[in-house]
Amino acid sequence: MPFIGSFVPPGDKSVSHRLVLMSLLAQGEMLITGLSGCEDVNSSLNAFRALGGQARPEGSGLKIKGLDSQWSNFDGLEIDCRNSGTTMRLLAGILAGVPGRYILDGDDQLRRRPMERVAEPLRLMGARVSSQSGRPPLTIEGRPLSGIDYSPAEASAQVKGAVLLAGLSAKGQTRVTESKATRTHTENLINHFHGHVVTEGLKLTLSPGRLRLPPAFDTPGDPSSAAFFLVPAAFTPGSRVTALNMLLSPTRTGFLKILDRMGARVTMTMTSDSPEPTGDVTVEYGGPLTGTVVTADEVPSVIDEIPILALASTQAEGQTVYRQVDELRFKETDRLMSIRHQLGALGARVWIEGNDLFTEGPTSFIIPKELDSGRDHRLAMTLSMALYAAEAHIPIIGAESIGISYPNFEEHLNSLWQK
Ligand code: S3P
């Protein structure tokens, strides 16, 4: 059965985290509309409130009062980031330069994720940061910081973001040079909040300074959520799905380029370009998809979409390869293995060579008794879409994790799927 119709995806999760967390460093008041109501962003809001931030509903939005780093000198404040790596990593950057001692912890999945990638540059800037063999909990003692010139080993917007946010209170400029372009929300929002970051290719230079909130901010829709309907529309005959008011930053919409080259019909209409490009996107089935090569440079722009793209490529003719996707090993689960095992359990030809992921299609799924998402929200949604495409109904273990990023997934699924 096809997917047909239009929907408004939830507010972008990456932008939502930053709106909330960067308010810790900014003065002024901002009315946010469309903030994501997902569990991860709630973890950032809890952290914001634990540090003394005020946020209250106003109309259909949330009014946030900037804290301008004016919080008590906490000695050993524990902040539970629950499942949210973005909360922990960006908060580490924010806290590195403010006096006090903070302990950032999380759930069992977050406790397995690497934190040395943010701890190292923050230490180089002058903060005291300790971890449990590179993993949470992180203890941060804020100190006066100095700007650094840093080239992260991983292509990570969270690492870049943490260093830039720490740099706001540092002495001197902070430079970050990336190996590959990652999502640009931290630098865009710093500039939108009257800070100063200059981007020259892959090099960013930040001048320290205070941030000031704009009076209002309308959060664009999340492409990483919308992808769970736009991608299946590309491989399900008769489908045509439109995501309205979606973020269109090129560092987030790599999956649309990939679907286009695999043979789907993709159209985009930009409705606004500031502070982030936003608009409507339609994906329409345009005949059977064909396999493609997703290059290492493209990977950061599709890092969260690889599970659902991998599902699409099991339905495409021929081989698809995703080059150098080892960062997937460090997500909520080892997503490289989860993709291989769970799509493999459906009878798809999926394998890993070194750090590359391969699929060979098209595949008619064999339906097992159950599937296991490992409580990884993006895996759970991918498996859900695989089962809808195959019109099969079996349990997905850990599907309750979907609320981590997409609370109204089920509602949108019911409105788009033409039963
Ligand atoms: C994010 C960046 C990405 C992404 C994550 C959100 C962000 O992680 O996978 O879901 O908001 O900065 P990395 O920066 O670790 O690649």
| Tens-digit pLDDT string for the chain (419 aa) | 899 999 999 999 999 999 999 999 999 999 999 999 999 999 999 999 999 999 999 999 999 999 998 888 899 999 999 999 999 999 999 999 999 999 999 999 999 999 999 999 999 999 999 999 999 999 999 999 999 999 999 999 999 999 999 999 999 999 999 999 999 999 999 999 999 999 999 999 999 999 999 999 999 999 999 999 999 999 999 999 999 999 999 999 999 999 999 999 999 999 999 889 999 999 999 999 999 999 999 999 999 999 999 999 999 999 999 999 999 999 999 999 999 999 999 999 999 999 999 999 999 999 999 999 999 999 999 999 999 999 999 999 999 999 999 999 999 999 999 87
3-state SS string over the chain?
CCEEEEECCCECHHHHHHHHHHHHHEECEEEEECCCCCHHHHHHHHHHHHCCCEEEEECCEEEEECCCCCCCCCEEEEEECCCCHHHHHHHHHHHCCCCEEEEEECCCCHHHCCCHHHHHHHHHHCCEEEEECCEEEEEEEECCCECCEECCCCCCHHHHHHHHHHHCCCECCEEEECCCCCCCHHHHHHHHCCCEEEEECCEEEEECCCEECCCEEECCECHHHHHHHHHHHHHCCCCEEEEEEEECCCCCCHHHHHHHHHCCEEEEEEEECCCCCEEEEEEECCCCCECCEECCCCHHHHCCCHHHHHHHHHCCEEEEEECCCHHHHHCCCCHHHHHHHHHHHCCCEEEEECCEEEEEECCCCCCCCCEECCCCHHHHHHHHHHHHHCCCCCCEECHHHHHHCCCCHHHHHHHHECC
Q: Identify the pLDDT of residue 260.
A: 98
**Residue located via tokens 């969270």:** 158
Provide the pLDDT for residue 274. 86
Q: Whose CA is nearest to atom 13 of ligand 1?
A: 156
The catalytically annotated residue of 304, 326, 372, 376 is 304
Residue nearest to atom 11 of ligand 1 (CA): 14
Cβ atoms of 136 and 113 closer than 8 Å: yes
Domains 13-207 and 220-416 share a fold: yes
Q: Hey, which of 81, 113, 183 would you mutate to test ligand 1's pocket, going by the most ligand atoms within 8 Å of its Cβ?
A: 183
Pocket of ligand 1 (CB under 6 A): 14, 17, 86, 156-158, 161, 182-183, 303-304, 327
Ligand 1: nearest atom to the Cα of 331:
9
Between CA 321 and CA 179, with CA 161 as vertex, the angle to 5 degrees is: 45
CATH number of 13-207: 3.65.10.10
State which of 12, 14, 301 you would mutate to test the pocket of ligand 1, scoring each by most atoms of that ligand within 8 A of its C-beta.
14
pLDDT at 69: 86
Its CATH architecture, for the domain 220-416, is Alpha-beta prism (3.65)
274: Cβ contacts below 8 Å, ≥ 6 apart: none
CA of 55 to the centre of ligand 1 (A): 25
| Predicted TM-score (pTM) of this structure | 0.98
C-alpha dihedral (112, 113, 118, 119), degrees to nearest 10: 10
Q: Rounded to 10 degrees, what is the CA torsion of 216, 218, 224, 230?
A: -170
Verify whether residue 304 is a known catalytic residue.
Answer: yes
Determine the atom of ligand 1 nearest the C-alpha atom of 303. Answer: 9
**Contact residues for 140 (Cβ-Cβ < 8 A; gap 6+):** 92, 95, 96, 101, 102, 103, 104, 122, 127, 128, 129
Structure tokens at 353: 């060579």
Domain boundaries defined on the chain: 13-207, 220-416
